[in-house]
A and B are shown apart, each in its own frame.
Chain A
Amino acid sequence: EMQLVESGGGLVKPGGSLRLSCAASGFTFSDYSMNWVRQAPGKGLEWVSYITSGGGYIYYADSVQGRFTISRDNAKNSLYLQMNSLRAEDTAIYYCAKSEIAVPGTLGAFDVWGQGTMVTVSS
């Protein structure tokens, strides 16, 4: 069974940093692109960042560009999100999500999701 398990969330003060991790199992992690998606309390889903299978291409939402860094360690089947200069508006559940292999010319959907880890930014 394919599984993603996030960790590293918690309470942090504005301006602080946090590193999230996502442990993958049940599939060949190094074959797939991965994403971080977040959801503020009572709000919708917001895509945060994307990294290709080998880490060669990385994209960020405008809201986190320059503050967050996505990375992966294929030897450890793990995905990471380094979050710096955190703001109150970064408060959310952060989900790790696997991208499916895409139909040529498109991008695949997020076909496997973790249960999420809560990040609260507050003084």
Chain B
Amino acid sequence: SYVLTQPPSVSVAPGKTARVTCGGNNVGTKRVHWYQQKSGQAPVLVIHYDSDRPSGIPERFSGSNSGNTATLTISRVEAGDEADYFCQVWDTTSDHRVFGGGTKLTVL
């Protein structure tokens, strides 16, 4: 089955840029979605189709996808961005939806 690999943790100072990666075999040929999950809350969609922001998501959130790596970029990081972030794709081979293991973003 298809596997998405994320770093367990990323740390960033307020006001700086955070990059969360999502690795997978030729993931650049798939459409990647990103979710933010704050402690004790349900996930929220922050990026869909690699780089599109749903309504209500700040412009500070952006995404890219190429080759074997998709990246969620959060600019001008704020304390409120501290959360777990998950990438997700559709594995067309199995018709299964697949999540990455998640990355805990810590704002220093």
> Interface residues, chain A, CB within 8 Å of chain B?
35, 37, 44-47, 50, 59, 61-62, 95, 100, 103, 106-111, 113-116
In the complex, are the beta carbons of A107 and B101 less than 8 A apart? no
B45 partner residues in chain A, CB cutoff 8 A: 109-111
Residue tally, chain B, CB below 8 Å to A: 24
Q: 9 interchain pairs (CB within 8 A)? A: A37-B99, A44-B86, A45-B88, A45-B102, A59-B95, A61-B96, A107-B90, A109-B45, A109-B48
B42 at the interface (CB under 8 A from A): yes
Q: Does the CB pair B31–A113 fall under 8 Å?
A: no
Q: Which residues from chain B contact A37 at a C-beta distance below 8 Å?
A: 99
Contacts of A113 in B (CB 8 A): 42-44
Q: Pick the contact of B88 from A59, A62, A106, A109 — CB < 8 Å?
A: A109
Known contacts A47-B97, A62-B1, A95-B42, A110 near B102 by CB under 8 Å: no
The contact string, 1 if C-beta is below 8 Å from chain A, for chain B 84-108, is 1010101000011111111000000
**A45 to chain B: closest residue by CB:** B99
CA A49 – CA B11 in complex, angstroms? 33
Interface contact A103-B31, CB-CB below 8 Å: yes
Residues of A within 8 A of B97 (CB): 35, 47, 50, 107
CB contact between A59 and one of B1, B48, B96, B99 (< 8 Å): that residue: B96
**Complex: A100 Cα to B37 Cα, angstroms:** 18
